[in-house]
Amino acid sequence: MQTEAGKKLVPLEGIRGIAAVIVLLYHFTLCFTLRGVQTIPTGHGALDPIFRFLLCLLNGSAAVAVFFVLSGFILSLSFAKDQKLSRILTAILKRWPRLAALPVAGCLFAWVMIIWSGSDYSAAAQIIGSNWLATHGNGPITGQSMTWTGAIAQGLVTIFTTGNVSYDTPLWTMRIELYGSLATFLVAPLLFALRNPWARAAAVVAVAVLAGIQYPFTYITDFLIGTLLAMLYTSGRLPSFSNWQAAALGALTIYLFSFTYEQVLPIHAPLKAIMPHGDTSHFIWDISAALMILLVFGNPALRRLFSGSWATRLGALSFPIYLLHVPILLSVGAATFLWATPHLGQTPAALLAAFLCLIVTVACATPLVRMDEEWGTILGRVTRHLTHREHVPAKP
């Protein structure tokens, strides 16, 4: 996530990193507990509602919406530099290969983990009672031919076309990422041409209506909201917030982020009452994501907090962690749980397995950060060569 000067937008790296951690914890909960985030805490008196609300904050779907809004923001900054259409052409040319490299690596990694661990995930699921674990992370592999060539084909093509993600289920987001990216590249010039901010907002609403409320096209709106925020950022029109204002808006941000499919809390009743039928919950999460971006740029204290070195490191690891954590949970996590349960009991075994998965995920994700950077550099050189090569007359 870089500015037009080539420097990282570190506050956004921090947001993206925290979102990745939330997805990680969300899947840990689904893997090692009977009901996941649908668990209803009891026996803690007045603290039970608080614990239940905290479970709502492990909202993996909301965290994914944050990823999409951030993508729309960053992808729009390139065009905002000088608003040349050649930038759009360059971005379109390299978007699919840019997105596909790490998923291919992730699917191959998942294939190795599947071959190594066998049916450990199924055996662990029988003890825990986790349906998510029993279905191999909502990507059943029973009866399928799992091969290294199939892993490459899935990471390279089918995750973007049919949406098949049997090797590495978090990659369901990649089809949306590709469609949303292309929509951003095509709509951004129109939005920048409209000088009136209300006209820009109306254009985004029009595109949202045309996209409909069915998966996956409804998520195009997430990216365009990011585009609108990028336009405010590049024009220097992002609002400023005092600490008190930031605290109030922060509470609203958390409230909107906690809106979940799984839980039915009274505090979410007003939101459920106004939401239309269909795949529309992400609209609520988009508002939360937009508020996050506004707050980290508009409040000096939050900007300092999210500009630390931790944000840079966590942001760089965010996609590799997102990519690898589920295959590791289903293999290393399940095997560790099965080994430790007879010695420690179910709960300590689950905690040990979760901790080991965290360590292994970070260790395996770290090399992918370098790989992603190198691949991005190579693609940048190739696309610049293709789109900016000057014509050299032939020698007589």
| Band (211; pLDDT cuts 50, 70, 90) | confident
- The more confident residue out of 122 and 215 is 122
> What pLDDT, on a 0 to 100 scale, did the predictor assign at position 82?
66
Element (H, E) at 151: helix 148-153
- Is 332:357 a contact under the CB 8 Å cutoff? yes
> What pLDDT, on a 0 to 100 scale, did the predictor assign at position 3?
44
DSSP H helices, 34-172, are 47-56, 60-82, 85-117, 120-128, 131-134, 148-153
Which stretch of 204-213, 269-278, 327-336, 358-367 has the lowest confidence by average pLDDT?
A: 269-278
DSSP H helices, 83-119, are 85-117
Dmax over CA atoms of the chain, in Å, equals: 90
Whether residue 391 has pLDDT greater than 60: no
Q: What is the tens place of the pLDDT at every residue in 34-83?
A: 877 666 665 666 676 777 778 888 899 999 999 999 999 999 887 776 67
* Per-residue b or e along 180-199, where b marks 16 or more CB atoms closer than 10 Å to that residue's CB: bbbbbbebbeebbeeeeeee
| Band (327; pLDDT cuts 50, 70, 90) | very high
Over residues 340-360, mean pLDDT: 95
> What pLDDT, on a 0 to 100 scale, did the predictor assign at position 79?
75
- Is 353:39 a contact under the CB 8 Å cutoff? no
Secondary structure class of 8 (helix, strand, coil): strand
Q: What is the tens place of the pLDDT at every residue in 129-154?
A: 999 999 999 998 887 889 999 999 99
Cα angle vertex 172, ends 59, 88, to 5°? 105
What is the spatial distance between Cα 333 and Cα 356, in angstroms, rounded to a whole number? 7
Whether residue 259 has pLDDT greater than 80: yes
Over residues 181-189, mean pLDDT: 88
What is the spatial distance between Cα 318 and Cα 326, in angstroms, rounded to a whole number? 14
Q: Is 336 left (phi over 0), alpha (psi -120 to 50) or beta?
A: alpha
Over residues 188-192, mean pLDDT: 85
Which stretch of 216-225, 238-247, 324-333 has the lowest confidence by average pLDDT?
A: 216-225
Secondary structure class of 2 (helix, strand, coil): strand
Over residues 21-27, mean pLDDT: 95
Share of the chain above pLDDT 90, in %: 62
Q: Which residue has the tokens 């985030």?
A: 37
| Band (7; pLDDT cuts 50, 70, 90) | low
- The more confident residue out of 330 and 77 is 330
Over residues 243-251, mean pLDDT: 97
What is the spatial distance between Cα 304 and Cα 14, in angstroms, rounded to a whole number? 11
> What pLDDT, on a 0 to 100 scale, did the predictor assign at position 343?
95
What is the spatial distance between Cα 182 and Cα 295, in angstroms, rounded to a whole number? 27
Whether residue 394 has pLDDT greater than 50: no
Whether residue 390 has pLDDT greater than 70: no
What is the spatial distance between Cα 232 and Cα 247, in angstroms, rounded to a whole number? 22
Average pLDDT, the chain: 88
> What pLDDT, on a 0 to 100 scale, did the predictor assign at position 66?
97
Whether residue 4 has pLDDT greater than 80: no
> What pLDDT, on a 0 to 100 scale, did the predictor assign at position 387?
65
Using N-to-C axis directions, what is the helix angle for 10-32 and 309-328, rounded to 10°?
A: 30
Q: Which residue has the tokens 């992603």?
A: 372
Share of the chain above pLDDT 70, in %: 90
Tokens read off for 66: 């944050």
Q: Is 129 left (phi over 0), alpha (psi -120 to 50) or beta?
A: left
- CB-count burial class (<10 Å; 0-12, 13-18, 19+) for 320: buried
DSSP string, 235-257: TT------HHHHHHHHHHHHHHH
Which amino acid is present at 253? T
> What pLDDT, on a 0 to 100 scale, did the predictor assign at position 392?
41
Q: Which residue has the tokens 């982020």?
A: 257
- Is 93:387 a contact under the CB 8 Å cutoff? yes
> What pLDDT, on a 0 to 100 scale, did the predictor assign at position 53?
79
> What pLDDT, on a 0 to 100 scale, did the predictor assign at position 382?
80
